[in-house]
């Protein structure tokens, strides 16, 4: 499995049975200047945590270009279907086996709305994803504050890799994110959702130091936007 971080909360994960994108925010994302929506030619599915522009991003364009299936909560997926995209409706607590792997939706403590011409359109609840793919268990937390039920997520899912926001202001800051890794019992963590905007500027080394204290068994893997790793 090859994982590429495209900045903010956007990940590209290429597995044996397909390539998935999570929260493909490209247009307006200074961290994704190395890539354009049109560069994606072969995408199996796009997992979207919520309707905010920095997560929904270029979902519709990429889906239209590639036929990728948009996966999200029912309200978000229904909107995508209305806009002509292939979509699969799910909701929190539910899991589904797709050809590329299994996706389960988790809670995320956050809002969710599309911004269409300055109007907010309801997009259902924000969520996170537990993804079982090629024998690995991945968790993308979406946008969220710290919540105690991360302990339950960790109890029932042996998380090989967690993608956790650390930017503060809109989501968890470094302290809460380090504690989240402890609750999740994550073996590895990629910090995300930081340094994209002035109000979420963070020193990733501060997170790594806090992680050593709070969750010493979790290995931090800070990736630069555009950087890939094998899993
Ligand atoms: Ni958000
Ligand atoms: Mn966000």
List pLDDT tens digits, range 118-136: 999 999 999 999 999 999 9
Q: What average pLDDT does the structure give for the chain?
A: 98
Radius of gyration for the alpha carbons in the chain, expressed in angstroms and rounded: 16
Report, as an integer, the average pLDDT of 12-25. 98
Q: How far is the CA of 165 from the centre of ligand 2 (A)?
A: 9
Report, as an integer, the average pLDDT of 84-99. 98
Q: Which ligand is nearest to the CA of 109?
A: 1
List pLDDT tens digits, range 38-61: 999 999 999 999 999 999 999 999
Q: How far is the CA of 129 from the centre of ligand 2 (A)?
A: 15
Q: How far is the CA of 55 from the centre of ligand 2 (A)?
A: 6
Q: How far is the CA of 144 from the centre of ligand 1 (A)?
A: 8
Q: How far is the CA of 120 from the centre of ligand 2 (A)?
A: 15
CA–CA separation, 99 and 93 (whole Å)? 20
- Write down the pLDDT at residue 125: 98
Instruction: Locate the DSSP E strands across 48-147.
Output: 69-73, 87-90, 95-98, 101-107, 113-116, 119-122, 127-133, 136-140
> Ligand 1 (ion): which residues have CB within 5 A?
52, 143
Percent of the chain residues topping a pLDDT of 70: 100
**What are the C-alpha distances in Å from 214 to residues 50, 61, 155, 181, 217?**
29, 41, 17, 8, 9
Confidence of residue 104 (pLDDT cuts 50, 70, 90): very high
Q: How far is the CA of 53 from the centre of ligand 1 (A)?
A: 8
Q: How far is the CA of 79 from the centre of ligand 2 (A)?
A: 19
List pLDDT tens digits, range 155-211: 999 999 999 999 999 999 999 999 999 999 999 999 999 999 999 999 999 999 999
**What are the C-alpha distances in Å from 35 to residues 28, 30, 201, 225, 226?**
12, 10, 22, 10, 8
Q: How far is the CA of 59 from the centre of ligand 1 (A)?
A: 15
- Write down the pLDDT at residue 84: 97
Q: How far is the CA of 194 from the centre of ligand 2 (A)?
A: 9
pTM attached to this predicted model: 0.98
């Amino acid at each position: 499995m090859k994982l590429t971080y495209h900045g903010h909360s956007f990940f590209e994960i290429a597995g044996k049975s397909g390539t998935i994108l999570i929260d493909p925010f490209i247009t307006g994302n200074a961290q994704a200047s190395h890539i354009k929506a049109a560069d994606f030619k072969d995408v199996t599915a796009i997992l979207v945590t919520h309707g905010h522009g920095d997560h929904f991003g270029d979902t519709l364009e990429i889906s239209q270009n590639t036929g990728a299936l948009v996966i999200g909560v029912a309200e978000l997926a229904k909107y995508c279907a209305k806009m002509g995209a292939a979509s699969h409706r799910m909701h929190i607590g539910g899991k589904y086996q797709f050809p590329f792997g299994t996706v389960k939706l988790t809670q995320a403590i956050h809002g969710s709305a599309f911004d269409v011409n300055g109007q907010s359109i309801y997009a259902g609840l924000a969520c996170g994803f537990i993804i079982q793919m090629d024998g690995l268990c991945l968790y993308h937390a979406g946008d969220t504050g710290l919540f105690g039920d991360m302990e339950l997520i960790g109890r029932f899912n042996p998380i090989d890799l967690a993608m956790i926001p650390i930017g503060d202001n809109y989501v968890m800051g470094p302290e809460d994110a380090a504690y989240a890794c402890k609750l999740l019992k994550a073996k590895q963590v990629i910090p995300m959702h930081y340094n994209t905007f002035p109000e979420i500027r963070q020193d990733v080394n501060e997170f790594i130091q806090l992680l050593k204290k709070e969750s010493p068994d979790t290995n931090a893997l800070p990736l630069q936007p555009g950087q890939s790793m094998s899993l």
